[in-house]
Chain A
């Protein structure tokens, strides 16, 4: 028996740690700069890129026949001597806009020559993905200032700081100042629309408001033009700085220095430099918005969305679950009805999560949200404010989903409070509520925390219902915006790591290129769930210590 039980545990551990190890292995190495290889095959084709995968296969006759005679003979001998297989590698070559593919398989027997050129660059571009190639020139206002790679590198280092500064400035103008002007214009329009809804079009009040509206729009328009002009000027200056790159096939292309997120001459780097590139990429991943259809850049909005949604869900589900469990355990007369309710609650935990999503969409978005819109945001209609998926609705839906977990765990915790404690409290002349509040709840708190931990783990990892109630593949404006009144926007749709994984891995056009990011995002999601749980476990341990005193 001990072998059976121990073996089962072992199998479970192997599967769990196997999965974790797989995710950690793939996710952890995504950002590690690997050497850029130049591979020339027997037909004279050249490829430049990173090796991302390697395996082996058994070559068939057709393949052997396509080889030059002396190679084929040598290969046959090799296959006969070995285990009948030859190796092949997957090369990430990118330059998607020129080649139309992200990856190339290269079979080892076809490799004629292979080397790692000193000045092979991997350039991460802001909106076209990666570029593997060689620098051939640095242009300022169309004049070639440098021709040789070291000189080009020198010029790039010299100018990129100023270019980046201008880029950031333009971005800031676009996001904050332009946003503010847009909102001012929108507000003016909404106020006019409100008067129109209240007083009717062409009424005296409406006409007065219309004059006010026109005056304000005019002011904003001027501001608008000033800002767009400034942005245009900054962008125009930046456009003067260009990097000329050449693919391994000899095609040339120009990349604006402002479009270069990071250019790395990997083959020259030592361990220390590689490490710094690695950490820099991680930092970008954690703090930046996604780029290039989510396949590049960071996942900060998704991290934010996941964490905020989970916290909001916890804040909603714990009080409700605890109160419900309190009624079931402490107030309700135990009988057939309570048992029935208990069974129903337990069954609720088994309902597929997508059903909760459908319910959330139907009830929260379509009924509650539309109702709120009609009451409070009638001016913006037909554009929905609350009548669509959003962070708040998603949190409430997940709160419903995790409610059974909290109720069951809390009930367990409550029933574990010894009756002698309750009796002791009653004997002191305490009322029922005083007993619950001062004795039962504090005593049950660690158990309630356990329920909360389970709910967080369940909620943070849930994706299916979110698709219906507000998770979006692209939602860079966060639900908390300190630059904009009223600072919190629970109605906004949000990004979620789980949905991001699904989207990047299976929905994006170049999902192949983004595949490594799937692992990394998964690693991050697991990490976040672990961190949230650790925080809860830490709080629980603190509570326990306070409960039992220092021993």
Chain B
């Protein structure tokens, strides 16, 4: 797999990525089409001092949501969601829906709240004492923050992969079947089957099938992260949350994970947080751009990258800002 993923993708499903990448390169070279795009993006509202200043000053504005993303069947719906860490508000009135069976990317500069939003979906923020929330998130129509929701049952419906690979201090096998074990599954056959299918799903089976009983901590970083993905999909979750899954990995391991996310598309609904614009353009169907705790623009990845409606999105995805 000795290839630069950004420049020479080899799979047919990468066609979109190629197109986007090359388009972006072109755009930085020639300014003309950009201005045209911007003009189209202007919706007529006047924002003195620009949108970012507007957000920083805390003035209310309407995020731009492309029509295409509203039509799909949603697996996760975020509805007017606010979140505070103590007195600091980290998320402001976020509303977006994650379509089923597709890959949705959250992008934005550091501290914009994309990880916080991701962790709100499986209520990992519950672990922090000072967090307070308002608004609603629904998973396949069921309220996540409603009264009497069993967090444990909820989390079993959601898989999550973290920034740093965090395999448990046990064997590869036990890592993969962890969520089944805590569910009390004892049947050897079920466990074996879940282990194999998850590892195959995470593209790790061929590498580890002969040493399933070895410690997971002995794997390489990239293998560990794919193991974490296998662990997350073992319970067949309705949605898979990926929190910058490649930021601690080298380019080759990153490439493998990206391939894997592509393979997961259609089988799982994926919500991925990433810092890497090219990664977002390569792996996702839809992209949401966030800034300072607000959703700015949300639409199909292609139009968000090639023809964003807002100048600020344009600046961010082309790397002139952030």
A residues with a Cβ closer than 8 A to B are: 333, 418, 420-431, 434, 438-439, 442-443, 546-551
Contacts of B181 in A (CB 8 A): 438
Task: Identify B155's interface contact among A426, A438, A443, A551, CB under 8 A.
Answer: A426
CB of B174, distance to nearest CB on chain A (Å): 9
A428 touches B182 (CB 8 A): yes
- Are B215 and A421 closer than 8 Å at their CB atoms? no
- Interface flag for B156 (CB, 8 Å): yes
Contact partner of B166 among A424, A434, A547, A549, CB < 8 A? A424
- A-side contacts of B308, CB under 8 Å: none
Query: How many angstroms from the CA of A434 to the CA of B183 in the assembled complex?
Result: 10
Contact A547–B155 (Cβ < 8 Å): no
Say whether B178 contacts A428, CB under 8 Å. Answer: yes
List of B residues within 8 angstroms of A423 by Cβ: 124, 127, 162, 166
Q: Measured between C-beta atoms, what is the minimum distance from A328 to chain B in Å?
A: 16
Number of A-B residue pairs having CB atoms within 8 Å of each other in the complex: 86
Tell me which residues across on chain B come within 8 A of A333, comparing CB atoms: 129
Which residues of chain A have C-beta atoms less than 8 A from B241's C-beta? 427
Cβ contact within 8 Å between A548 and B217: yes
What is the chain A residue whose CB lies nearest that of B181?
Answer: A438
Q: How far is the CA of A549 from the CA of B174 in the complex (A)?
A: 13
Residues of A within 8 A of B217 (CB): 547-549
Chain A: minimal CB distance from B185 (Å): 12
The answer, yes or no, to whether B164 is at the interface (CB within 8 Å) is yes
Chain A contacts for B122, CB-based, 8 A: 427
Option from B169, B183, B214, B228 in Cβ contact (under 8 Å) with A550: B214
Q: Is the CB of A424 within 8 A of B179?
A: no
Q: Find out whether the CB atom of A429 lies under 8 angstroms from the CB atom of B152.
A: yes
Q: Are A547 and B162 in contact (CB under 8 A)?
A: no
Question: Chain A nearest CB: distance from B191 CB in Å?
Answer: 14
Known: A547-B217, A549-B218. A429 touches B168 (CB 8 A): no
Expressed in whole angstroms, the Cα–Cα distance for A230 and B30 within the complex equals 118
Chain B hits for A434, CB < 8 A = 182
What CA separation (Å) do A434 and B168 show in the bound complex?
13
Residue of B166, B169, B178, B217 contacting most chain A CB atoms (<10 Å): B169
Least CB distance from B227 to A in Å reads 11
Interface assignment of B304: CB less than 8 Å from any CB of chain A: no
Q: How far is the CA of A549 from the CA of B220 in the complex (A)?
A: 13
B127 touches A425 (CB 8 A): no
Question: Contact residues of B with A, CB < 8 Å?
Answer: 122, 124, 127, 129, 152-156, 158-160, 162, 164, 166-171, 178-179, 181-183, 214-218, 228, 231-232, 235, 241
Contact between B215 and A429 (Cβ–Cβ < 8 Å)?
A: no
| Complex contacts, B159 vs chain A, CB 8 Å | 427
- 12 A-B pairs besides A420-B162, A547-B217, A548-B217 with CB distance below 8 A are A418-B166, A420-B164, A424-B162, A424-B166, A427-B160, A427-B162, A428-B235, A429-B152, A429-B235, A438-B168, A439-B169, A548-B218
With A418-B166, A439-B168 given, is the CB distance from A431 to B215 under 8 Å? no
What is the minimal beta-carbon distance from A56 to any residue of chain B, in angstroms? Answer: 63
Tell me which residues across on chain A come within 8 A of B169, comparing CB atoms. 421, 439, 442-443, 547-548
> How distant is A544 from chain B, measured CB to nearest CB, in Å?
10
Contact B218 A425 (CB under 8 A): no
User: Nearest-CB distance from B135 to chain A (Å)?
Assistant: 22
- Taking A428-B182, A429-B182, A434-B182 as contacts, is the C-beta distance between A547 and B168 under 8 angstroms? no
Give the CA-CA distance A430 to B179 in the complex, in Å: 7
Q: Can you identify 6 A-B contacts, CB atoms within 8 angstroms?
A: A421-B166, A427-B159, A428-B155, A430-B178, A443-B169, A549-B214
Collect the chain B residues with CB atoms within 8 Å of residue A547's CB.
169, 215, 217
When the two chains form their complex, are residues A428 and B218 in contact, meaning their CB atoms are under 8 A apart? no
Cβ–Cβ contact A424 & B218, under 8 A: no
Residues of A within 8 A of B156 (CB): 428-429
Nearest B residue to A551, CB-CB: B218
Chain B's closest residue to A418 (CB) is: B166
Contacts of A439 in B (CB 8 A): 168-169
Interface contact B182-A420, CB-CB below 8 Å: no
Residues of A within 8 A of B216 (CB): 549
Most buried by B among A422, A424, A551: A424
Tell me which residues across on chain B come within 8 A of A548, comparing CB atoms: 169, 215, 217-218
Q: Identify A425's interface contact among B129, B158, B168, CB under 8 A.
A: B168
Shortest C-beta distance, A445 to chain B (Å), equals: 9
- Tell me, in angstroms, the Cα distance from A476 to B265 when the chains sit together: 76
Q: What A residues does B182 contact at CB under 8 A?
A: 428-431, 434, 438
Min CB distance A298 to B, Å, is: 46
Closest residue of chain A to B241, judged by CB?
A427
* Contact A421:B168 (CB < 8 A) given known A426-B124, A428-B231, A547-B215: yes
Q: A549 and B215: CB pair below 8 A?
A: yes
Chain B residues with CB under 8 Å of A430's CB are 152, 178-179, 182
Q: Inside 8 A of A443's CB, which chain B residues have their CB?
A: 169
Name the residue of chain A whose CB is nearest to the CB of B170: A442
CB distance from A130 to the nearest CB of B (A): 59
- Once the chains are docked, how many angstroms separate the CA of A422 from the CA of B164? 13
A420 near B170 (CB under 8 angstroms)? no
Q: Which of B154, B156, B166, B171 has the most chain A CB atoms closer than 10 A to its own CB?
A: B166
- List the 9 shortest-distance A-B pairs measured between CB atoms, nearest first: A549-B215, A429-B156, A427-B160, A549-B218, A420-B166, A429-B155, A428-B179, A424-B166, A549-B214
Smallest CB separation, A290 vs chain B (Å):
49
A550–B179 Cα distance when bound, in Å, is: 25
Contact A425 B152 (CB under 8 A): no
